[in-house]
Amino acid sequence: MIEYKPQLKRVLLFIIVALFLTSCALNGIFLQPTKLRSKKGNTSKMVVKSGDNRVTIAIDEAYNPTFTTESDTTNFDFNIKSVVFPSASGNLLNAWEITPKEPVKSIATIIHFHGNAGSLYHQFLAITPLVKEGFSVFMFDYSGFGFSEGKAKRKSVLLDGNSAVDYVLKNFNQTGKIVIYGQSLGGHLAGVIGPKRQNDIDGLVLEGAFSSHKDVAKAFAGGFGKAFTKEMYSAKDSIVNYKKPLLIIHSEEDEVIPFYMGKTLFDAANEPKEFLEVKECHICAPKYYTTEIADKIKKMIGL
């Protein structure tokens, strides 16, 4: 028996290391940021898609964007002001204050929590269709995303989301009406932060959101994935404490976050609530259902 102990130890060590690495990999799927770096005196550039067009974004030292299509400046139906604000995570975060162009007057402010990848420079087109309906949008990059400082961690993301609400209340509350609108990972985050900040907001929208970290890990990696994923905080556990108007949007064609997770969140939530079942791709609803979503949000906040 003694002669097999060293071999047994090696096997156990291998299993422990494998489980640790698998756990880290599973937890890493939740945050996949694009980190952008600025050099003083230089302008950064990137390319995103807007419909059938490829839009080049030139970013100056203050992170303000200029959009061009081929050689022509592109005029969107909104104004963008880039700002930097401090987060309770200890990091300075880059954000955009997006407002409708005149003569449209802002009717409410949407605090946008974006998804798990890229940066606000990649994600803004997922929410800006609502600006032409009269909403101002405050969107920001979590720690480690875009030009925001720090590392991308789920603990930091939670602190960042709360700090974004604080910033809007003090600096960008133009109309007195505030709605948190979260998409994908941001939808899950909104489902956690919304209940805690319900005295500060008028409504909550979750689009393409997953119900919990463990649930989405199970969907991708089965029971093994669920077992080795840390929960930390859960939208389906938090949403039961939310009492204000709630709109949940999920596409039946969503190939990223399973449709049933939107239903799980809806079933766990209190009235007043509404479920909007849509088609098209993951978090594409504002593009294809702009007016319908805008009307539902207006109704939520009493407009």
The answer to whether position 45 is within a domain reads no
The answer to whether position 52 is within a domain reads no
The answer to whether position 240 is within a domain reads yes
pLDDT one-digit tens code per residue, 64-106: 888 887 655 566 888 999 999 999 999 999 999 999 987 777 8
The answer to whether position 70 is within a domain reads no
Interacting residues of 26 by C-beta distance below 8 A, sequence separation 6+: 217, 221, 225, 228, 229
Segment 154-161 shows an average pLDDT of 96
Query: Residue 27: pLDDT above 60?
Result: no
Please provide the DSSP assignment of the chain as one string: -GGGHHHHHHHHHHHHHHHHHHHHHHHHTT-EE-B----TT--EEEEEEETTEEEEEEE-TT--EEEEETTEEP--SEEEEEEEEE-TTS-EEEEEEEEEPTT----EEEEEE--SEE-HHHHGGGTGGGGGGTEEEEEEPPTTSBT--S---HHHHHHHHHHHHHHHHHH--SSS-EEEEEETHHHHHHHHHHHHTTTT-SEEEEES--S-HHHHHHHHHHHHHHHTS--SS-HHHHGGG--S-EEEEEETT-SSS-HHHHHHHHHHSPSSEEEEEE-SSTT-HHHHSHHHHHHHHHHHTT-
Are 35 and 145 a contacting pair, CB within 8 Å? yes
The answer to whether position 180 is within a domain reads yes
The torsion of the CA quartet 148, 149, 153, 157, rounded to 10 degrees, works out to: -50
CA distance 253 to 259: 8
CATH number assigned to the domain comprising residue 94: 3.40.50.1820
CA distance 80 to 59: 12
pLDDT band of residue 148 (cuts 50, 70, 90) is very high
Query: Residue 6: pLDDT above 70?
Result: no
pTM of this structure: 0.88
pLDDT one-digit tens code per residue, 118-143: 899 889 999 999 999 999 999 999 99
Describe the crossing of helices 154-171 and 185-196 by its angle, rounded to 10 degrees. Answer: 60
**How many folded domains does the chain comprise?**
1
Q: What is the pLDDT of residue 26?
A: 52
The answer to whether position 221 is within a domain reads no
- Token pair, residue 107, equals 């009717």
The answer to whether position 3 is within a domain reads no
- Token pair, residue 18, equals 């494998």
Q: What is the pLDDT of residue 171?
A: 94
pLDDT one-digit tens code per residue, 170-200: 999 777 899 999 999 999 999 999 999 999 9
Describe the crossing of helices 213-227 and 5-28 by its angle, rounded to 10 degrees. Answer: 170
The answer to whether position 270 is within a domain reads yes
Domain that holds residue 100: 75-216+230-300
* Of 205, 176, 201, the residue nearest 189 (C-alpha): 205
Are 121 and 65 a contacting pair, CB within 8 Å? yes
- Token pair, residue 92, equals 């300075």
